[in-house]
Amino acid sequence: MMKELIEKAKNTHSLDKNEIISLLSCNDYDEEIFTAADCIREKYVGNEVYLRALIEFSNACLKDCKYCGLRCSNNNIKRYNLDENEILNCVENAVEFGYKTIVLQSGENNAYSVSKLCKLIQKIKEFDVALTLSIGEKSIEEYKSYKAAGADRFLLRIETSDENLYKQMHPKSDYKNRINCLKNLKTLGYEIGTGCLVGLPNQSIESLADDILFFKEIESDMVGIGPFISHPQTPLSCTPNGDLVLAVKVMALTRLLLPNINIPATTAMETLAKNGQLFALQSGANVVMINFTTDDFKNDYNIYPNKSSANPLSIAENLESINRLVKMSRGNSLSWEKKNK
Ligand code: SAM
Ligand code: SF4
């Protein structure tokens, strides 16, 4: 039965909710699921691993997500906002290493006016790179301005597609607005990325199955799955960390159902276990983000404790050890290219 479901996913890239639940609930065929996802990854997006340069340019946040160390209620954190020159120095450093995609990430804040951020985007685009923003929920007008200034992609995880759980985890956010933001970004022509956390309190296998179906329904071009990691200065300090194998399994099933997309081996996976990212790369992932935030601020972007940081110098060696090649191209997702050709 399970083997048939895995074959079905491999051949049709389609499973219904009950079928996904069956695969997520049974642990006896995990190896087969990982191998199938690895095979589909190779068939559709090849053996190259796209590297992205991540710049965490501000840890100020107006939101209060219960799991995140950057939440506004956490007073035990040194807040920072990098200025334009500091950000451009990080970009220059990444470009010198050969990076062709820059990811600008921050807490959700108003520390940078729209015009200031547009000016920064224009300056970054002078380096001839693809630019991804991950700055949270904004109005459609704001997203439009950033697109016009040159931003190409946007990452906005739904975190959980279970509206009730979403409400419990996000006292200052509205589920419907998050979905609207994703739809607006899509309408504006961004390559969109979403994703979820695995291991939130009260999160059911059913809701993880819905998450995977949500990624398909919204036609996401990139999907990032992060195991939840408990942060001591949050209301979830006593909640155990998410399970790495379950998180990788959600990711592998996502690859089987969305064969054309880009899927990162997330930092949270490596933080939970050494070589967690290599495990993910052999189970459907094809992207790695390398942190180019200046050392002085890296530790203050404390979403969760002991955040791992892949080394730009040793990454190629690590990838070669699993017969994968570094690809220093922009690495658009195939799903987006197909829709926009
Ligand atoms: N503020 C923006 C947002 O929320 O979309 C972008 C920055 S936010 C720090 C990036 C991601 O960090 C979130 O989408 C969330 O999934 C992840 N994150 C936050 N706290 C986490 C935790 N305790 N464990 C694992 N991932 C976490
Ligand atoms: Fe802010 Fe993003 Fe953390 Fe939520 S997940 S508290 S929006 S930085």
* pLDDT value of position 316: 84
- Ligand 1, atom 14, residue with closest C-alpha: 157
User: What is the per-residue pLDDT for 311?
Assistant: 79
| pLDDT tens-place string over residues 69-110 | 999 999 999 999 999 999 999 999 999 999 999 999 999 999
Check: CB of residue 287 under 8 Å from CB of residue 262.
yes
Instruction: Give pLDDT tens digits for 177-210.
Output: 999 999 999 999 999 999 999 999 999 999 999 9
Whether the pLDDT of residue 341 is over 80: the answer is no
Position 61 in a domain = yes
Q: Closest residue (by CA) to atom 19 of ligand 1?
A: 68
Nearest bound ligand to the CA of residue 54: 1
The helix (H) or strand (E) run that includes residue 287 is strand 287-291
Task: Flag whether 283 is in a domain.
Answer: yes
Q: Are 277 and 287 in contact (CB under 8 A)?
A: no
The pLDDT value given to residue 274: 93
Residue whose CA is at the smallest distance from ligand 2 atom 2: 107
Between residues 64 and 314, the one the model is more confident about: 64
Ligand having the closest approach to the CA of 226: 1
* Lowest-confidence segment of 5-9, 37-41, 337-341 by average pLDDT: 337-341
Query: Is 126 part of any domain?
Result: yes
pLDDT at 281 over 80: yes
Classify residue 27: in a domain, yes or no. no
CA 282 – ligand 1 centroid, Å: 24
* The pLDDT of residue 336: 83
Domain total in the chain: 1
Residue 67 Cβ inside 6 Å of ligand 1? The answer reads yes
Per-residue pLDDT at 2 exceeds 90: yes
- Provide the domain limits for residue 134: 48-269+279-314+324-331
Taking each helix axis from N to C end, the angle separating 205-217 and 244-257, rounded to the nearest 10 degrees, works out to 30
Looking at the domain assignment, is residue 25 inside a domain? no
Q: Which atom of ligand 1 is nearest to the CA of 107?
A: 1
Mean pLDDT of 31-54: 97
Residue 339 — very low, low, confident or very high, per pLDDT cuts 50/70/90? confident
**260 — pLDDT class (breaks 50, 70, 90):** very high
Residues 6+ apart with CB under 8 A from 99: 51, 52, 53, 129, 290, 292, 328
170 with 66: CB under 8 angstroms?
yes
Residue 310: is its pLDDT beyond 80?
no
What pLDDT, on the 0 to 100 scale, is given for residue 288? 96
pLDDT for the residue numbered 308: 83
Q: Which ligand is nearest to the CA of 181?
A: 1
Q: Tell whether ligand 1 has an atom less than 6 A from the beta carbon of residue 157.
A: yes
Model confidence at 332, pLDDT cuts 50, 70, 90, reads confident
Whether 223 maps to a domain, the answer reads yes
In angstroms, the CA 122 to CA 316 distance is 30
Do 55 and 105 meet the contact criterion of CB atoms below 8 Å apart? Answer: yes
Ligand 2 pocket by Cβ (under 6 Å): 61, 63, 65, 68, 70-71, 107-108, 136
pLDDT confidence of residue 39? 98
**What DSSP assignment string belongs to 69-115?**
TTSTT--SS---B--HHHHHHHHHHHHHTT--EEEEEE-S-SSS-HH
Q: To test the ligand 2 pocket, which listed residue (68, 158, 228) has its Cβ within 8 A of the most ligand atoms?
A: 68
Which of 56, 57, 68 to mutate for ligand 1's pocket (most ligand atoms within 8 Å of CB)? 68
From the CB of residue 330, how many other CB atoms can be counted at a distance below 10 Å?
A: 16
Q: State residue 307's pLDDT score.
A: 87
- Answer whether residue 14 is part of any domain: no
For the domain that residue 228 is a member of, what is the CATH number? 3.20.20.70
Percent of the chain with pLDDT over 70: 100
Q: What is the pLDDT of residue 331?
A: 84
Please tell me the number of the ligand nearest to residue 61's CA.
Answer: 2
Q: Report if residue 69 sits inside a domain.
A: yes
Cα 323 to ligand 1 centre (Å): 30
- 256: pLDDT confidence band, cut at 50, 70 and 90? very high
Q: Are 43 and 259 in contact (CB under 8 A)?
A: yes
Q: Lowest mean pLDDT: which of 48-62, 132-146, 254-268, 297-311?
A: 297-311
Q: Is 228 in the pocket of ligand 1 (CB under 6 A)?
A: yes
pLDDT at 314: 81
